Amino acid sequence: MKPLLEAEGASVCVTRTESGDAERTPYDYNGNGVVTRPEDLPEVVQPCIDTMNTFGAKFMLSIHFNGHPDPSISGSEVYFSDADPDPDASRRYAQTLLGSLLEDLTAAGYEPRDRGVRSDRYKTEYRSIAPHYGFEERCSDCLRLLTLGRNPMSHEPGAWRSGALVEVLFLSNPQDAAFVARPNAAEIMAAGLAKGLIEHVAGEPR
């Protein structure tokens, strides 16, 4: 996506190296002396938030592939944070990304299930982590996706205007996985998401 966006005049920040490592090293801020325990997940994610904040990113996009024990579950979905400065704008951002992705996948001959846009406040497994950061297990905002920068367990929140996390397809579904295995799949998915991001930014107030 980076060269596609740069060709449209965007300044682009990536948070990971080509090997998949974070550009910045995780650091201990919950005081347990390490960043390798299960409860240290916020510390592992924080360097990516820091990289984007230092860059001054206005829009963030995190790209993932989904999985589920039930291989019949398939499709594309996008998560946004209704704790963003303008949650309605973030919802529109998520919807535009999803619509553009689905459009380009369909044009390439594969029509995935539209799983819609969803709030980032759903990670119930984070409840066990919350006490390590001074929060009760019932802390509702502690259920937010760490990646989107609106979880209070983060050392610093995301400073961007809108963020979205895209689950492109399910690698656990045979049909979705077969599309991802196509030689040109990465280019198709990147083009769809880049088009959606550009469309959204063009329609936002400066």
Domains held by the chain: number: 1
Q: Exposure pattern of 142-180 as b/e (b: 16+ CB <10 Å)?
A: bbbbbbbbbbbbbeeebbbbbbbbbbbbbebbeebbebb
What confidence tens digit (pLDDT) does each residue in 56-97 have? 999 999 999 999 999 999 999 999 999 999 999 999 999 999
Helix intervals (H) in the chain: 2-6, 41-55, 87-107, 174-180, 185-203
Instruction: Find the CATH number of the domain harbouring 164.
Output: 3.40.630.40
| Rounded distance between C-alpha atoms, residue 189 and residue 173, angstroms | 17
Q: Are strands 162-170 and 76-80 parallel, antiparallel or unpaired?
A: antiparallel
Q: Which residue segment(s) compose the domain that 105 sits in?
A: 2-18+25-203
What confidence tens digit (pLDDT) does each residue in 150-168 have? 999 999 999 999 999 999 9
Does the pTM surpass 0.75? The reply is yes
Q: 6 by DSSP, 3-state: which?
A: helix
